[in-house]
Structure formats: structure tokens, C-alpha cells
Amino acid sequence: MKERIRRQTWRAGLIAGLLPFALGSAAQDAAPVAGTITRSSPTAPGPALPAALPDSTAATNAAPAPTFDASRFEAMAEALVANGRIPGLAMAIVKDGRIVSLRGYGVTDARDPQPVDTHTVFRLASLSKSFAATMAGMLVNDGMLRWDSRLVDYVPSFRMSRPEAAAQVTVADLLSHRTGLPRNAFDRDLEGNAQYHDLTLRIADAPMACAPGECYAYQNVAFSLIGDIVFATTGRFYSEEVARRIFKPLGMHDASYGLEGLEASARWARPHVRGRGGWVPLMPKPNYYRVAPAAGVNASISDLAQWLLAQGGHRPDILPAPLLATLHAPLVSTPSEIRGSSWRRARLQHANYALGWREYDYAGHDVVFHGGAVQGYRGMMALLPEQDLGVAILWNSESALPSGLLPTILDSVLGLQGGRWLDEDTLDGSEDLLYAERAAPAGGNASRAKASPP
């Protein structure tokens, strides 16, 4: 009872501190971007996103944009870490091709407190999927791969339980979770310390929910087969190719792959879970690092600021506009994303999966999004193309509180009223997390992680 009263008291303090900052501001509307990839035309780039255009091509007749004041959102982030509500957090906001906010808040370790700064490295969990799809897209641009290339042409040992199904799985199917397998197939086994290669072989015996390409079911193990394709195509290990083609050219100097990469970082945030005495730091688990394309990236908020700029179209030398339009275009409906937390129920009219990204109709505005969580870490990132806005938030605890900060920022920029997303105590209803709610022993065909949303 005392713990419940304590939580209610600090929640009330948080709400009181944050509400003055949550007022919206006027925004300019633009038509949402349409576009899709079909199995019959997998390489069609679709229309270029407005955010994917260089600054010099912006419309000259547009009305001047209102001044963007990031200080309000920085104050919200400061309130979130005040009094140990959460251990640490980092946030980047980019607008019109510039970084307008880049800060760390709180501490890296509740027991050995060091300040989170802009180069503190966090584990990205499912935010890693956007890097995998982008890496594949760069190979498509190079003519080394096609979106409709067949997995079995690169991984001949791949098998599925239905005759001929394995030969139907394409690169685009892997990256949009349309393999036909049940949701989160083998995640529990991965949590139970099974090896990635062994689990890919067991896909041969897994039940199927549909034929490849015909339905959506979120994956981590099957998604990571894109790494095998990258190796077969380039002759380089997946993580090395991403570092060579993405991290280094974009100036993502703190980014790495794997547990060794995290622990080798000059400064990294420890993961935290809630204990009776408050936040308890843990040592990171290696399990989901074994599926590097799905969950292997470590990065600082400085790295993600560069990633948002590139995904927003401001590094066409690395990521050209037609590639970005293809990566962000909706491929398959994901109605479960509309349920869950109150901001999703109130704001999302449609939800889809693209290629390593989610695509939302956010109160009539196109938003490109992905979230992620692994034990003790959470994160969210989003692009609002019509406003040339990008936001990334990383934190080193299992608290749901910071998940309301992103929709609060979007509401403010879009001039939407009525949302009180930072005072909710509900979990954020997305599928983009990795760890099982309870560890399960290895074994069982296509076992699923019973996951509590991030």
C-alpha cells in the first residue's frame, strides 16, 4: 500500500510539472504521402517524400514556418528524470535539416551515477530494424539485390513446413514481417538461450499462419535472415557492412553492434528494472544480440540525430530520395498498433508496416515510426515528413512514462489539442519489444514471446 501511495504521489507531481508544457501550437498542414510496393513491382520507388528533398528544392511559396521552441520539450524530459522517476534519458529533435535539440538527462547507472550525455550509448532493440532495411535498400540501389529476390537463392538451406513456401519468401517479405510464420516465432526460445542458426533451421517445422506475402506477423528471428542475405551478397559480415555503408559515412561514431560493442563504448547506459528499493541496474543479456538485424545496434542520441537527418532526406549522398520513399511506404496493415495506450487509440487512424519502419496515419498526418524495448532499455523514433521533423528518445529503464513524450511533441507541432499523454500510467501498446515476459525454456515449435508492450 505504501508503494502504491508513493507512486501515486510522484505521478501527481509529474503531471503537475508537465501539464504547463503540453499546450499545442499552430501548424501548417500538408497532404499525406501515399505510395506502396507491390509484389508484382517490388523495385518501384513510389513518390518521393517531402522530407526526402534537399533543402534547396523546398517550395518557395510556402508560408514561413512558426518558430520551433524545443525548450518546452527539454523541460518535459528534465521532469521525467527528476527525483529518480526514471534513471536516464536522451532525446534528439531535428527540424528542417538542423539539430534543434540534443541532450542527455539523468544518469547512466542508479548505483554509480554518471550523467547521461549526447554520446552515452544505449541499446536500440527493435530500432535496429530500420538499419537492416536501409542496408538491403542500398544493395537494391547498387543492383546487387532486388526487393523480390528470393531468400532461398541466398540461403539454400532455408525450409518451411508448407511445400513450396520457402521459395516464395522475398527480401521485402522478410523486412515487412510477411513470412507467413506465427507472430514472434521462436522468440521465447531465443530468450531461453537458443542459438540463432539453430532456430532458423527449426523454421522448417513451424506451423504457418498464411502463405508468404499474404499476412503480417511481427518477427525477430525470421527478420534477421536479411543478415544472411547481406553476407551472401557482399561477402562481408552484416554488422561490418552496416558500419562501412551507414555508420561511418553518416558520422555515427558511437554506434556498434553486439554486447561487446556496447561494453566497449566509452560511456554506456546500464539497463534498469524496478525493484523494491527503486531502480535496479542490470548487466545486459546477450540473447537478442544474436539477431543482429532485428535487435543488434547500440548507439548514442548523437548517432540517432544523424540517422533522423538521413532518413528525413538530408543526406541524399548516402540515402537518395527514391530509396527513402520506398523504405517508408506502407506495405501491410497492422491494426493491432492502433490499440494499446491512449495516444494510439486517440490519434492513430491507420497503422501499417513498411520496410523496417512503421507507417501511421496520425490524426490525418503521415508519421514514420519505430519503437523498441529489450530488458531495461526502451526507445522510440519518428519522422513527421510534412513538417520535416524527426524525434528520437532513448531511456535506460522499463518505465512507460517517457513513451508519452513523443506524441506530446507531435501534437504540439501539429496543433492538436486534448492529449494528456505524459500523465498516463498504461503501457505503450506496440509490438516493438523483444524480451519474453517470463523466460521460457528452449523448445517447442514456433513458440511466442508473451510480451508486455513497451
pLDDT over 90 for what percent of the chain? 76
Min mean pLDDT across 51-65, 72-86, 104-118, 206-220 is at: 51-65
pLDDT tens, 371-391?
A: 999 999 999 999 999 999 999
| Residue 17, φ and ψ in degrees, nearest 5 | -75, -30
pLDDT band at 277 (very low <50, low <70, confident <90, very high): confident
Dihedral (C-alpha) 43, 389, 104, 416: value to the nearest 10 degrees? -120
- For residue 450, being part of any structural domain is answered with no
Is residue 284 scored above 70 in pLDDT?
yes
pLDDT at 431: 73
Between CA 88 and CA 105 the distance in angstroms is 6
Tell me the average pLDDT across 173-186: 98
- For residue 454, being part of any structural domain is answered with no
pLDDT at 326: 98
Q: Computed from CA positions of residues 249, 254, 260, 265, in that sequence, does the dihedral angle turn out positive or negative?
A: positive
pLDDT band at 435 (very low <50, low <70, confident <90, very high): low
Is residue 36 scored above 70 in pLDDT?
no
Average pLDDT value over all residues in the chain: 84
- For residue 430, being part of any structural domain is answered with no
- For residue 429, being part of any structural domain is answered with no
pLDDT band at 429 (very low <50, low <70, confident <90, very high): low
- For residue 264, being part of any structural domain is answered with yes
Is residue 66 scored above 50 in pLDDT?
yes
pLDDT at 364: 98
Give the count of domains, the chain.
1
Tell me the average pLDDT across 269-273: 98
Residue 70 sits in a domain whose CATH number is 3.40.710.10
pLDDT at 410: 97
pLDDT tens, 90-124?
A: 999 999 999 999 999 999 999 999 999 999 999 99
CA atoms within 13 A on the CB side of 223: 34
pLDDT band at 13 (very low <50, low <70, confident <90, very high): very low
pLDDT at 68: 83
Which amino acid, one-letter code, is at 99? Answer: I
> Which of helix, strand or coil describes residue 168?
helix
332 vs 449, which has greater pLDDT? 332
Question: Domain range for residue 255?
Answer: 2-423
pLDDT tens, 286-337?
A: 999 999 999 999 999 999 999 999 999 999 999 999 999 999 999 999 999 9
- For residue 212, being part of any structural domain is answered with yes
Between CA 189 and CA 439 the distance in angstroms is 9
Query: DSSP secondary-structure letter at 126?
Result: G
- For residue 441, being part of any structural domain is answered with no
Q: Between the ranges 30-34, 68-72, 177-181, 435-439, where is the mean pLDDT highest?
A: 177-181
pLDDT band at 432 (very low <50, low <70, confident <90, very high): confident
Query: DSSP secondary-structure letter at 281?
Result: E
- For residue 268, being part of any structural domain is answered with yes
